[in-house]
Every structure is written in C-alpha cells, then in structure tokens.
Amino acid sequence: MGLRSWFTQVDSFDIFKKVVQAIKNNPDAYGINFILKLNNSGLPFMANSVLVAWSGDTNHSKNGLPIDALRWTYSLEELSSKFSKKPDTLGQIYNSVPEIKASMFNKTNKQGTSTPNNKVPYKITVIGYPCTFKFTVSKPFKPFNYDEDDGRNKILLKKMYELSVDSPCHAYEDYVIEIVRKVRGGEHWYLGS
C-alpha cells in the first residue's frame, strides 16, 4: 500500500467524463489533483493533449479506468521531472472538472478517432526480471537480433537509471535483452544477466 500519482491522457470529452467517473467511484483512488492541457508534446504524451493528474493507493487505483485511458496512464515516476516539479511550464492547469470543455480536445476524424499532430510514442514493457517496468521511446526499433547492437541495451540502461529500477542482485550494466516480443503499440522485453 502506498500513494501513487498518475497522469492519464484523455483523447475525447466522453473519455474524460468516464475517467473522472471511474476515479470518483474507485475507493482506492484519492481523486483528481488537476487537469493539464499540454502546449507541446511531453513524452510520452501528444501535443495539445488533455491530461488528468490524479492519485490513489497502489495500482488498484487504476481499476475501472476505460481501456482507452488505461493504456495512456503513467505513474509520475515514469515521467520527466517537469511533470512533478513544474507542470505549469508544460501547459495550462485547470483545478476543477467543470472547467474542462469539449472544445479543448483534438478534432476527430470520420471514424471517431483522434488525429494528433505527431506520432504516437512506442511503449516498452520490461517483463518480470529484475522487475516489471514501462517506458516509451519516440519510434519503433528495427527487428531484434540478439547478436547485433541496435541501441535497445543502451536505452534499457539509461531508463533503468532514470526510473531507479529495483535490482537487488545485479548492477544495471549486468542486464541484457534476450527476447523481444512485438505487441500492439510497442514491445515486451525479457532480460537476462
């Protein structure tokens, strides 16, 4: 048990309302801290996105979030320090839900999906060993080849330091990526040492 802070990107006013309701109805969620309308992109989020900043008790506080919002929910620890120290430098902060209007969201195309100005970040999830953690990169990698350095291990090492990943038995430099599985929107990495 412990306090967790989250940022959830919402792409439409309808999803925004569902996220607000899910947070309100979840006993493990403590509530919305503020809403942030980004001026520019702030990885992993897209430019002009609306982000709900909220908190809760452990991962159970994410229960009930719509699936569209769950895939765009990141803990504060996974994000740049600007999100915790100076979120007002990233965009406009709103302190209450009624301040958010449908006109604040990206225009939608005929299929009803958002049309962002930039590319969607590529999600990386390290599974199991030494622990499970997530981060994003700006573009996909070329196909994985264990014997060839394609930049994945360098990014892995950098992200392990940035996120202070729990590794009780090995130095971060001891880990290598052994298996890469492509998933929709990213990759799952399985490490060895």
Could you give the domains of the chain?
Answer: 3-104 (3.30.70), 122-192 (no CATH)
Alpha helices in the chain (DSSP H): 13-25, 67-70, 82-85, 152-163
Which tens digits make up the pLDDT trace of 111-151?
334 434 445 678 999 988 888 888 888 888 888 887 777 88
In terms of Cβ atoms closer than 10 Å to its own Cβ (0-12, 13-18, 19+), residue 157 is: middle
* CB count in 10 Å sphere of residue 91: 20
pLDDT at residue 115 in the model = 39
Angle at 166 between CA 161 and CA 171, to 5 degrees: 60
Tell whether the model's pLDDT for residue 164 goes beyond 60: yes
What are the residues whose beta carbons fall under 8 Å from the beta carbon of 171, sequence distance 6 or more? none
Which tens digits make up the pLDDT trace of 33-77?
999 998 877 777 877 889 999 998 876 788 888 877 887 888 888
| Mean pLDDT for the chain overall | 83
The closest alpha carbon to 92, from 128, 59, 129, 48, belongs to 48
